[in-house]
Structure 1
Amino acid sequence: MLESIRKYQKILMGLLLLLILPSFVFLGVESYMQDIGKDSTLVKVDGAAITRQELDNAVKLRADRLQQQQGRVDSAMVNSVPFKQAVLNEIIQQRLLAYEIKALKLSISPEALARDLTQIPEIKALYNNGQFDAERYKKLLASNNLTVDQFENGRRHELKTRHVLTAVVATGIGSRKVAEQVSIAFETEREVQVLRFSPNDFVSKVNPSQQDIESFYQSNINAYQAPENVEVEYVILQGDAKADPKKFAEKADLFANMAYEQADSLKPVADRLSLPIQKASNITRGGLRGAPADHPFNNPKLLAAIFADDAVKNRRNIEALELSPGKIISARVITHKPQAALPLSQIQVDVKKQVSLRMAQELAIKTGQERFEALQKNPSESAGFTAGKWVSRNKPADLTASGMDAVMSANAKQLPAVVSAQANDGGFAIYRVNKVQKPLQADAKLRTNQARQVAALGAQSEAAAYFESVKDRAGVKQVNSVK
């Protein structure tokens, strides 16, 4: 019934904390995370302890909320030190807010509390012709296991906290002028021509020696490993379990018992039930390459069974495993090959291609750098450049991030100018910037979004600085580390 109450009192807090907490995490308690004792106290804020038990309880509550929201929770993540530290950060954040509320001597008047409560639909509905039904109010709260004092004191605290957070965020002015300058910088266009030196264009110009190939192979031996694999023989019992469930169940029991009791061979169970013994090879822990997803040897449980120690070392039948209703399998490892380096003779062609491409890349970069040095002396030289195109940070076309940074670094007062950056393919790119212009019409929607981002960054920066000062005043001290 009070779902909207719970929702209402957390919406603004959530939005504000989203602005504040990221900065607080980066600037927050990490510097305090030094283990200097074995006491249950983790952190002290204004002399009051945050204990390990309090943190454990908060971690459990957070995990429960995640479970409700997501349906499942990664226990390893919940038990990790980073997760616990993040929860501890939040506890410290709340303590600092309480400290600041106390220091500022904030109070909430009855009128302010009444105005706040009437924003909640369930409570607003308790007014009839201007008269408030106090009895229904008590019953409403009681149905949610709350007394009037508990609920109203909680609301007062929420309002005080909201006042502090709103004041903090409001100091992050996010100047319109700053936002406008950012938008102009992102909108400003530059006419660019490109000259690329791609490794693929230099492959024909290199010829690695056998020594080059062998040296590269030895240096990268871990990249040339044949995965662990097995060859197995197997038998499958398949039937219509629905048509004659009793008969199939009897056969399934016989199949499972014989495979288990006569574990040195599949022949007895195959002969008894007239089943063919089949073979499969090159099965890795990842499955049977090239086989469809529903192939038996792409079944995770079956793979785990055939790569178990007993199956690999002792060559014993695995226990019968149900692949699907009416389909049961048992298998036995025939041969096992551990992971090993592929011989160079087997992969000579591929290694040579990689060495050639590496040498071609080095030659492309060297050639590009030499051309760049010459163009710096004569930037008007146009041989080899593409036709000019207009780019901006809002519309980067096919320029990489490093290419765009290079283009925007060119001095707009000294054009044409040439700059360089690494190309997408690992080669070298030269950009000649010819002209600069502002677009005739700005994108209003994009400008609005950029203004919001500037405001958010400003608020986040102000909030981080503010809470750093509160930490100093509150005497935050780390006593023990999170484990």
Structure 2
Amino acid sequence: MFFDAVRSNKRVVQIFLALITLPFAFWGVDSYVRNSGAGTDLASVGDSKITMPQFDQAWRAQQDRMRQVLGTNFRPESMNNPEAKLAVLNALIDQRLLLLDAAKDRLGAGDDRLREVISKIPALQDNGQFSMARYQAALAAQGMSQPQFEAQMRQDLTLQQLVSAIGDTGIVSKTVTAVMLQIQSEVRQVAELRFAAEQFADQVKIDPVAAQKYYEENTKRFEIPEQTKAEYVVLSLDTLLDKAKVSDTEVAAWYESHKDRYQQAEERRASHILILTNGDGDKEKAKARAEEVLKEIQKSPARFAELAKQFSQDPGSAEKGGDLGFFARGTMVKAFEDAVFKARENEISGLVQSEFGYHIIKLTEIKAGKQRPLAEVRAEIEDELKRQAASRQFAEAAEVFSNMVYEQPDSLQPAAERFKLKIQQSGWLLRNPAPEALAALGQLGNPKVLASLFSDDSLKNKRNTEAVEIAPNTLLAARVIEHRPASTRPFDTVKAGIEAALKAQEAAVLARKAGEARLRELQQGSEDNAVWVLARNVSRADSGQVQGAALKAIFNADVQKLPAYVGAEVDGGNYMLYKIVKVSHPESVDDGRRKALQREYGTTLAQQDFAAYLAGLRQRYKININKSALESKER
């Protein structure tokens, strides 16, 4: 949703909000602190209730979120279980706990902060300026009122204050980081000795009845799943959009009634010299330095660009003589912006202080605001009006389409002819394909579509399925044209494959036994006369060198005395011996890597602190969950 821009705060805050915030239109902080709603309550947190409507809203939003994340791999039935329902309810409880604690501590977002955040959401701006028209249109598209949206924003901002206060405590000392780096960066030089399964293949003898026995005990492995082919039609908003017509009169009328949307705001171009302040103790030094530079500029205004290259500490603009290009209001920090939009062309400011430091600003050019002409915005207006018209038509067409495929169940042709749709044909479809196969089915990769196609009515009577909404403003109806019931492959067709698999399995057992025997000999001091190959350096940080089991074995080895020997099974039924010949640590570690590890571990500690804080809140407030009401919810 467009208001997700408010969550552009610190990374650790984002992580915590993802843990406890469901992306739905909240009921507002006040309603969470007081009893609210009617009907059977699903839970209570202290004196505050979590009602059925609140749970339903959260449930729908969580499904939407999962659908956006997983796309065609999303299966609604995966959420229709007690564990998923309880997870959503627990997220609501965590939110409620945080908001109750915030209210107790009188935390909240004031009107000024709220206005500031909303005005900076890019989706609500027009040419860099906040647009009330866009704000109202966006709210209407989401089906929300202004008070609802602003209540949600206040809640998000309140949660951010609370979460940030806890998240900032995740601090890791340099000593701890150094120890972790020492462990991560340790390098063990190893050589390898492979006991390949294929080396023992000639020693394997398969009992003639083993393949038959395996076949009988594992018949499911040889099943050919039920399959069907289908034809289908798709009615979508885009289909109607291509056919929508908009007259010149309609375009002109829209333009006249929405002229405020096509205002191009005034833009100004400025250059600046920035002297940074890096702390309270440096402010006076920075100011004195900036005053010296200002005196130089006042002596020679024409040298502004030259002096910017020499003195400015803004790496983004210094090399360009301080040039920042054109910008509109709402783009720069307030103090800087106020100075620029009060200045006259070619005027040089005095010192302007911002949160970054001290600026010396030169206004170089003014591009006056203007009304964008109809000719320039005609294409935008036509697209918008066509989409509006298509949306209205789709609502009507969807009902007619759904009725036609139901009332004339023996063919999709009438619906196709009525809406000028192409009847498409699928390949063979499975009843329950794997997630990756489901994604490859495109529009047919919808669990509800497949369930309808494999229903008794579709398979036995070859009737049309119902019209299924496979995406917003997109309906699909299908019809079975061919069906293959599930069957089992005959033994004779799979016998050779079974025998090969059993032989490989036994060869792998022999390889492991031979490798383990040789490992015991080496660990007991037997003479090492093997031909070791492929010496390499292995570290925990670069785990791609060897497989997981082998890496674990190598770093679990006792290296007090070298060489040390370990073994591990690897892919393909092979057994690998590793000879550790050297252990070393790098003389120095990249500072960037050290800082990244410190941040990562700090985030982990902060998450633990946050979990402990939530656990403490759950102890402080009495929580009751109405499990019978939760279980009785029909999804």
In the alignment, the residues of structure 1 paired with residue 546 and residue 101 of structure 2 have an alpha-carbon distance, to the nearest angstrom, of 49
* 1:340 equivalent among 471, 480, 488: 488
> Which residue is 1:95 aligned to?
96
> Which residue is 1:383 aligned to?
530
User: Is the Cα contact below 8 Å between 2:206 and 2:502 reproduced in 1?
Assistant: yes
In the alignment, the residues of structure 2 paired with residue 306 and residue 164 of structure 1 have an alpha-carbon distance, to the nearest angstrom, of 50
Deviation at 1:161, TM superposition (A): 3.2
User: Is the Cα contact below 8 Å between 1:228 and 1:338 reproduced in 2?
Assistant: yes
Deviation at 1:391, TM superposition (A): 1.1
Deviation at 1:382, TM superposition (A): 4.6
In the alignment, the residues of structure 2 paired with residue 75 and residue 312 of structure 1 have an alpha-carbon distance, to the nearest angstrom, of 23
User: Is the Cα contact below 8 Å between 1:168 and 1:462 reproduced in 2?
Assistant: yes
In the alignment, the residues of structure 2 paired with residue 365 and residue 285 of structure 1 have an alpha-carbon distance, to the nearest angstrom, of 41
Q: Deviation string for 1:246-286 (max 9, x for gaps)?
A: xxxxxxxxxxxxxx99xxxxxxxxxxxxxxxxxxxxx9766
Deviation at 1:199, TM superposition (A): 1.4
In the alignment, the residues of structure 1 paired with residue 44 and residue 545 of structure 2 have an alpha-carbon distance, to the nearest angstrom, of 53
1:271-310 correspondence runs (5 A): none
In the alignment, the residues of structure 1 paired with residue 611 and residue 21 of structure 2 have an alpha-carbon distance, to the nearest angstrom, of 6
In the alignment, the residues of structure 2 paired with residue 139 and residue 348 of structure 1 have an alpha-carbon distance, to the nearest angstrom, of 71
Matched, 1:187 2:335: no
1:138-157 correspondence runs (5 A): 146=146
| Secondary structure, counterpart of 2:537 in structure 1 | strand
In the alignment, the residues of structure 1 paired with residue 216 and residue 70 of structure 2 have an alpha-carbon distance, to the nearest angstrom, of 47
Q: Deviation string for 1:108-140 (max 9, x for gaps)?
A: 7x8xx75775566569xxxxxxxxxxxx99999
Deviation at 1:178, TM superposition (A): 2.6
* 2:217 equivalent among 216, 219, 242: 219
* 1:374 equivalent among 513, 521, 538: 521
Aligned pair in 2 of structure 1 residues 20, 198: CA closer, same or farther (>3 Å)?
farther
Deviation at 1:182, TM superposition (A): 2.2
In the alignment, the residues of structure 2 paired with residue 330 and residue 41 of structure 1 have an alpha-carbon distance, to the nearest angstrom, of 45
Deviation at 1:407, TM superposition (A): 0.7
> Which residue is 1:169 aligned to?
167
Aligned pair in 2 of structure 1 residues 397, 284: CA closer, same or farther (>3 Å)?
closer
Aligned pair in 2 of structure 1 residues 472, 80: CA closer, same or farther (>3 Å)?
same
Matched, 1:46 2:46: yes
Of stretches 45-54 and 61-70 in structure 1, the one that deviates more from structure 2 is 61-70
Q: Deviation string for 1:122-161 (max 9, x for gaps)?
A: 69xxxxxxxxxxxx999999997557x995x877655543
Amino acid at match of 2:56: D
User: Is the Cα contact below 8 Å between 1:191 and 1:434 reproduced in 2?
Assistant: yes
> Which residue is 2:625 aligned to?
478
Amino acid at match of 2:187: E
Over aligned residue pairs, what C-alpha RMSD do you find? 4.9
| Secondary structure, counterpart of 1:430 in structure 2 | strand
In the alignment, the residues of structure 2 paired with residue 455 and residue 382 of structure 1 have an alpha-carbon distance, to the nearest angstrom, of 48
In the alignment, the residues of structure 2 paired with residue 463 and residue 155 of structure 1 have an alpha-carbon distance, to the nearest angstrom, of 22
Deviation at 1:228, TM superposition (A): 6.1
In the alignment, the residues of structure 2 paired with residue 138 and residue 358 of structure 1 have an alpha-carbon distance, to the nearest angstrom, of 70
In the alignment, the residues of structure 2 paired with residue 66 and residue 52 of structure 1 have an alpha-carbon distance, to the nearest angstrom, of 21
Q: Deviation string for 1:374-393 (max 9, x for gaps)?
A: 11112772513224211112
Amino acid at match of 1:103: K
Q: Deviation string for 1:71-127 (max 9, x for gaps)?
A: 98754456554544343233212211122123334477x8xx75775566569xxxx
In the alignment, the residues of structure 2 paired with residue 311 and residue 122 of structure 1 have an alpha-carbon distance, to the nearest angstrom, of 53
Deviation at 1:401, TM superposition (A): 0.9
In the alignment, the residues of structure 1 paired with residue 430 and residue 10 of structure 2 have an alpha-carbon distance, to the nearest angstrom, of 47
Q: Deviation string for 1:263-317 (max 9, x for gaps)?
A: xxxxxxxxxxxxxxxxxxxx97669xxxxxxxxxxx989x99999979988xx9x
> Which residue is 2:546 aligned to?
399
| Secondary structure, counterpart of 2:540 in structure 1 | coil
Amino acid at match of 2:43: V
Q: Deviation string for 1:179-224 (max 9, x for gaps)?
A: 3322332221101111222212211121112133333333333323
Number of residues of Structure 1 aligned to a counterpart in Structure 2: 375
Aligned pair in 2 of structure 1 residues 216, 76: CA closer, same or farther (>3 Å)?
closer
Aligned pair in 2 of structure 1 residues 458, 122: CA closer, same or farther (>3 Å)?
closer
Percent identical among aligned pairs is: 22
Deviation at 1:371, TM superposition (A): 1.1
Aligned pair in 2 of structure 1 residues 83, 220: CA closer, same or farther (>3 Å)?
closer
Deviation at 1:227, TM superposition (A): 5.5
Aligned pair in 2 of structure 1 residues 57, 121: CA closer, same or farther (>3 Å)?
closer
> Which residue is 1:201 aligned to?
199
> Which residue is 1:468 aligned to?
615
> Taking structure 1 as the reference length, what is the TM-score of the superposition?
0.63
Q: Where do 4+ consecutive residues of structure 1 move more than 6 Å?
A: 65-73, 136-144, 153-156, 303-313, 329-333
Task: Structure 1: give runs of 5+ residues left out of the alignment.
Answer: 26-38, 124-135, 233-259, 262-282, 288-298, 321-328
Aligned pair in 2 of structure 1 residues 201, 445: CA closer, same or farther (>3 Å)?
farther
* 2:498 equivalent among 351, 373, 386: 351
User: Is the Cα contact below 8 Å between 2:508 and 2:573 reproduced in 1?
Assistant: yes
> Taking structure 2 as the reference length, what is the TM-score of the superposition?
0.49
| Secondary structure, counterpart of 1:442 in structure 2 | coil
By relative contact order (CA 8 Å, sep 6+), the higher-ranking structure is: 1
> Which residue is 2:262 aligned to?
none
Deviation at 1:354, TM superposition (A): 1.4
In the alignment, the residues of structure 2 paired with residue 139 and residue 357 of structure 1 have an alpha-carbon distance, to the nearest angstrom, of 70
| Secondary structure, counterpart of 1:388 in structure 2 | strand
In the alignment, the residues of structure 2 paired with residue 204 and residue 374 of structure 1 have an alpha-carbon distance, to the nearest angstrom, of 25
Aligned pair in 2 of structure 1 residues 342, 306: CA closer, same or farther (>3 Å)?
farther
Task: Structure 2: give runs of 5+ residues left out of the alignment.
Answer: 23-38, 122-129, 140-144, 230-409, 412-426, 432-442, 465-478
In the alignment, the residues of structure 2 paired with residue 421 and residue 434 of structure 1 have an alpha-carbon distance, to the nearest angstrom, of 17
User: Is the Cα contact below 8 Å between 1:196 and 1:430 reproduced in 2?
Assistant: yes
1:70-109 correspondence runs (5 A): 75-77=76-78, 79-106=80-107
Of stretches 169-178 and 11-20 in structure 1, the one that deviates more from structure 2 is 11-20
Aligned pair in 2 of structure 1 residues 221, 101: CA closer, same or farther (>3 Å)?
same
In the alignment, the residues of structure 1 paired with residue 20 and residue 91 of structure 2 have an alpha-carbon distance, to the nearest angstrom, of 12
Amino acid at match of 1:164: L
